[in-house]
Amino acid sequence: MNTKALFKLSYGMYVVSSKKDDALNGQIANTVFQVTAEPPQISVCINKENLTHRFIQESKIFTVSILEREAPMEFIGRFGFKSGREVEKFKGIDYKLGITGAPVVIQNCLGYLECKVTNNIDVGTHTIFIGKVAEAEVTKDGEPMTYAYYHKIKGGRAPKTAPTYIKEQ
């Protein structure tokens, strides 16, 4: 089996956020895709250890903010390599609360989707959350960042908690 074939799969780059009472949190995820058109539904695969997982499970709400190509590595590091258990991720970040009460990121993003969870699938280390889109907006013109661009052009990597993590040979 040549697992390098997995590198040929394409993804985007997103900040997936949620809330728990007044607390806000978000994380980087590349595993976002649209699953149906009528009604519009989105899925995301989230590690069970992540704080974002707990927030989505409890509030049944998540948002997806679409990263622009120019999003700096420092910004991706804050949301993708740190946990909201240790840092207040939204402190100093340009965001707003959506109609669901969960945060959507404005800076470094092109738009967002707000979702209400309709289903979830236990896939072992992760849960796939499926959500119906309750609100959506385009906030800026520009090119979305792809997972390949993040790796090849920006020299980025993904942590072990990412579903698409592949161990270095």
Ligand X SMILES: Cc1cc2nc3c(=O)[nH]c(=O)nc-3n(C[C@H](O)[C@H](O)[C@H](O)COP(=O)(O)O)c2cc1C
Interaction site with ligand X (CB under 6 A): 25, 27-31, 45-47, 50-52, 76, 80-84, 150, 156, 158-159, 161-163
Residue at token pair 């804050």: 78
Q: Identity (one letter) of the amino acid at 36?
A: T
User: What number of CA atoms fall less than 13 Å from residue 138's CA on the CB side?
Assistant: 5
**Choice between 80 and 103, CB closer to ligand X:** 80
Q: How far is the CB of 38 from ligand X (least distance, A)?
A: 25
**Choice between 22 and 39, CB closer to ligand X:** 22
Q: How far is the CB of 120 from ligand X (least distance, A)?
A: 13
**Choice between 118 and 164, CB closer to ligand X:** 164
Q: Which residue is nearest to ligand X (CB)?
A: 80
Rg over CA atoms, the chain? 15
CB 101 within 8 A of CB 60: no
Round to whole Å and give the CA distance between 87 and 118. Answer: 29
Q: How far is the CB of 39 from ligand X (least distance, A)?
A: 23
